[in-house]
Amino acid sequence: MTVLTSADSGSIARGAQILREGGLVAFPTETVYGLGADAASAWAVARIYDAKGRPSFNPLIAHVANIEAARREAVLPDAALKLAEAFWPGALTIVAPAAPGGSACELARAGLPSIALRVPDHPVARALISALGRPVAAPSANRSGHVSPVTAAHVAEDLSGRVDMILDGGRTATGLESTIVSFCGARPTLLRPGAVAREKIERVLGAKLAAPIRAEIMAPGMTASHYAPNARLRLEAHEIRAGESALDFGGRLTALAAPGTVVLDLSPAGDLVEAAANLFAYLRELDARGVEKAAVAHIPERGLGEAINDRLRRAAAPGLSQIPAQ
Ligand code: AMP
Ligand code: MG
C-alpha cells in the first residue's frame, strides 16, 4: 500500500523510519521527485530497480546531507570539493572513486568502483536524509522509460502500489535533472548536462570540462570498469559439471550438487528481489573462494530477472562490456 501524504515533520520522520526498515519513499528535490531507499541496504536498493522496472542496473545517485557526508562515501579531489562548496546544496552531481569505508552498497553503484553524490537543495529532501542519517539512493520516481515526475500526483500515477510512501512537497522548482561531473579520469568530465550550466562550473574550476570518452557516454552498465568475476560462468545451467561450482536460484542446482561442491543460492525461495540484492556479493564470494568455473541456474526473464540476466551475461562474457550501447 502506498501512503500519499503532505510533507511535514511528522510524515518525514515516518518516511525516515520506512527507509530504515528497507522501504521505499518518494520525495521532492529541487530537480524532480526521487524514489528513495537506504543506500546502505542492497535489499532496499533492489526494490528501487524492481519498482522502476529497469531492464539493467544503472548506478544511482546517493543523496547526502552535506560535504562531510559526501567525503565519507567518496575520495573527492580538491577540484571536486571546490565544486561542492560552490554548488551544494544544489543540482550538481559529483562522480568520484568510492571511498573504502563508504556505506553505499555495491548494488547502488551497479558494481562500479565510483559513486555519484549530490546534496539536494530542497527542505523535504534534506530533512529526510538527515533523519535517516545515511545516504539515500534515489533515481527519478517514475517507471523506466517514462518522463521524470515533477509533482506527487505524477509519482502516484507511475508508482502507486510499488512504493511505501510518497511525500508531497508540491511541484519541483527546476524540472531539469542535475548536471553530472566526473572526477574519475585525468580531467573533470561533463557526463550529463543539467540544471547547473557548464559555464558556471568551468568558471569555478578555472578550466574547461572534458567531453566524456565513448565508454563514459555509453550507459554505465556497458562500461568495462564494472566488476567482472574471475570465475568463468556458464549460464542457463541445468546441471553442475565436474570441476564446477554453482550460482543457484530457487534451489534447483543445490538439489543436484555433489557433497563438497561450492553452491551459492541467490535466493533459495526463488525471489528475484532477494537475488538482485545478493548478486554482487555472491559474484565476489565466488572469487573469494577461488572458484574458476561456475554453473549458473536459469533465472526467469521477468521483473528484476531481466536486469540480473543482463548483468550475468556481461559477467559471463567480459568482452561484451566493451561493445558500444545501441
Ligand atoms: P538519475 O538518477 O535518473 O538522474 O540518473 C543518474 C545518473 O547518474 C545516470 O545517468 C547514471 O548513469 C549516473 N551515474 C550514477 N552513478 C554513476 C557512476 N558511478 N559513474 C557514472 N555515472 C553515474
Ligand atoms: Mg530518470
C-alpha cell at 240: 553442475
C-alpha cell at 37: 531507499
Reply yes or no: is the peptide bond before residue 89 cis, omega within 30 of 0: yes
Q: pLDDT at position 108, please? A: 97
- SS3 (DSSP) at 124: helix
Most confident among 175-179, 206-210, 216-220 (mean pLDDT):
206-210
- SS3 (DSSP) at 189: strand
For the chain, the farthest-separated pair of C-alpha atoms sits apart, in whole angstroms, at 64
Residue 67 has pLDDT above 60, yes or no: yes
Q: Of all atoms in ligand 1, which is nearest to the CA of residue 180?
A: 8
Q: CA 310, 313, 314 angle in degrees (round to 5)?
A: 90
Above pLDDT 90, what percent of the chain?
84
**Residue 135 falls in which region: left (phi positive, over 0), alpha (psi -120 to 50) or beta:** beta
Residue 324 has pLDDT above 50, yes or no: no
273 vs 78: CA distance, rounded Å: 38
Under a CB-based contact definition with an 8 Å cutoff, are residues 70 and 119 in contact? yes
Per mean pLDDT, which range of 176-180, 199-203, 265-269 is the poorest? 176-180
> Which of the ligands is closest to the CA of residue 92?
1
Task: Check pocket membership of 192 for ligand 1, CB cut-off 6 A.
Answer: yes
3 vs 14: CA distance, rounded Å: 11
Residue nearest to atom 13 of ligand 1 (CA): 59
Q: What are phi and psi of 159, to 5 degrees?
A: -120, 10
Under a CB-based contact definition with an 8 Å cutoff, are residues 238 and 283 in contact? no
Residue 326 has pLDDT above 60, yes or no: no
Residues of the chain with CATH 3.40.50.11030: 232-316
Query: Please, what is the average pLDDT of the chain?
Result: 92
Residue 142 has pLDDT above 90, yes or no: yes
146 vs 148: CA distance, rounded Å: 7
Mean pLDDT, to the nearest integer, of 20-38? 97
Query: What is the pLDDT confidence band of residue 284, given thresholds at 50, 70 and 90?
Result: confident
Q: Of all atoms in ligand 1, which is nearest to the CA of residue 220?
A: 12
* pTM of the entire predicted model: 0.89
| CATH H superfamily, domain 3-218 | DHBP synthase (3.90.870.10)
Task: Check pocket membership of 32 for ligand 1, CB cut-off 6 A.
Answer: no
Residue 195 has pLDDT above 80, yes or no: yes
Residues of the chain with CATH 3.90.870.10: 3-218
- Ligand 1 centroid to Cα of residue 60, in Å, is 5
- Ligand 2 centroid to Cα of residue 175, in Å, is 11
Per mean pLDDT, which range of 43-47, 151-155, 221-225, 249-253 is the poorest? 221-225
Residue 154 has pLDDT above 60, yes or no: yes
Under a CB-based contact definition with an 8 Å cutoff, are residues 130 and 65 in contact? yes
Beta-carbon neighbours within 5 Å of ion ligand 2: 140, 148
Per mean pLDDT, which range of 36-40, 188-192, 215-219 is the poorest? 215-219
Tell me, which fold does domain 232-316 have in CATH?
Rossmann fold (3.40.50)
139 vs 145: CA distance, rounded Å: 12
- Ligand 1 centroid to Cα of residue 176, in Å, is 14
Q: pLDDT at position 214, please? A: 63
- Ligand 1 centroid to Cα of residue 47, in Å, is 18
Higher pLDDT, 222 or 64: 64
H/E segment holding residue 179: strand 179-182
Residue 323 has pLDDT above 80, yes or no: no
Query: What is the pLDDT confidence band of residue 30, given thresholds at 50, 70 and 90?
Result: very high
Task: Check pocket membership of 15 for ligand 1, CB cut-off 6 A.
Answer: no
Quickly count: other Cβ atoms within 10 Å of residue 36's Cβ.
33
166 vs 160: CA distance, rounded Å: 9
82 vs 254: CA distance, rounded Å: 52
Give all strands (DSSP E) within 228-279, no chain letters.
232-237, 245-248, 263-265
Task: Check pocket membership of 137 for ligand 1, CB cut-off 6 A.
Answer: no
The residue to which cell 537543495 is assigned: 121
